[in-house]
Amino acid sequence: MTLDQYAQGWARTITDGLNRPFPWGSAHQSSGPNDVDVTPWRLHPCFHGCLDWHSSAHMQWSALTLLEHAYQSIDRATIDELTSLLDVRLTDENAQVEAEYLRTHRGYERPYGWGWAALLSATCAAPVVTANHPEWASATSIIGRQIFNNLLAWLPTMTFPVRTGTHDNTAFGVGLCLDAARSLGRSDVVEAIVKHSHRFFDTDIDYPSSWEPGGNDFLSAALSEAHLMARVYDVENRSDEFETWLHAFLPRLGQADDNLLEVPEVTDGTDGKLAHLYGLNLSRAWQLRALATWLDDDIRRRIEVATDRQISEVAPQITDGDFMATHWLVSFAVQAELASSKY
């Protein structure tokens, strides 16, 4: 699988999802009888479609990433449709609505949606995007600033990290925020994430990854933590020390009997929770590839074979599966392919 090979189909899946208003999971907490209108485009003029706020955000990130890395493999009509869609969504006026919602609902989409929206902001701020679409950078920066404000207020209040395999996972969402903050030059956010990541995870050893996955996981708590710490040590120019931490944390990573290399079975792809396991295959592939550089050559070869299988088993679901799969899987497939190009 390569971005060029699948870019057209993935781009069409993105536009179809973003243009599909329902079903919609608002996750809105109503404050009273006058606060029950959850019309998607009223509450979230930037991030609606694709079933929920976070999927809308990261599918827009996927659109930008495909346009950057595989532009020549997408037809003109699809490019124009994606561009027009982003022009309508990513305006300062819409972003002010989103930022105010995040200000008044401080726990909304924490931290998973925060991470993806922050990454979208960082991608929009890249020179290749701002040269042609400065309005996208302006709009997403409004949202990104509020997300970072929320993040800086939240991290010190966390007594323990959340280690689930779903949206609440601390390491995954914070890791995306770290990527975005580094790209955007937000040293204050980077420093806070590094500080609290060490507080949460420094002393973790011999993680019981054999207990994974849970029945509706789309993330590996083990790999998400390791992937975050790889970036944290990289910020500090201490990658050699990360290798020591990694082998203590996941001593059997990449061994022949490591269950993290397996392909979890999905028995009903129309069930949104069970369909999470499709995404688990892709997130495992992404993070295993990102971590492979710190492993021996024979283990890296085993990871290459395993991750190719994890992706190929899910590939048909990315564009041709039920909406419970197609509204979000593209983003994880894109990340897995980007990780492949780096190791």
What residues have CB less than 8 Å from 192, skipping those under 6 apart?
151, 152, 155
Is the whole-model pTM more than 0.85?
A: yes
**151 vs 257: CA distance, rounded Å:** 38
What pLDDT is stored for residue 2 in this prediction?
78
Name the 3-class secondary structure at 46.
coil
**54 vs 122: CA distance, rounded Å:** 16
Residues 297 and 289: beta-carbon distance below 8 Å: no
Tell me whether residue 240 is exposed, middle or buried, using C-beta atoms within 10 angstroms of its C-beta: 0 to 12, 13 to 18, 19 or more. exposed
At 232-266, the pLDDT tens digits run 999 999 999 999 999 999 999 999 999 999 999 99
What pLDDT is stored for residue 190 in this prediction?
99
What interhelical angle do 53-69 and 3-18 show, nearest 10? 140
What pLDDT is stored for residue 4 in this prediction?
94
At 296-318, the pLDDT tens digits run 999 999 999 999 999 999 999 99
pLDDT above 70 for 342: no
**169 vs 161: CA distance, rounded Å:** 8
What pLDDT is stored for residue 225 in this prediction?
98
**150 vs 146: CA distance, rounded Å:** 6
What residues have CB less than 8 Å from 295, skipping those under 6 apart?
253, 254, 303
What residues have CB less than 8 Å from 216, skipping those under 6 apart?
165, 166, 273, 274, 276, 277
| pLDDT range class, residue 1, cuts 50, 70, 90 | low
Average model confidence (pLDDT) across the chain: 97
At 158-183, the pLDDT tens digits run 999 999 999 999 999 999 999 999 99
Give the residue carrying structure tokens 């892709």. Answer: 282
pLDDT above 90 for 343: no
Q: Which two tokens stand for residue 13?
A: 């899946």
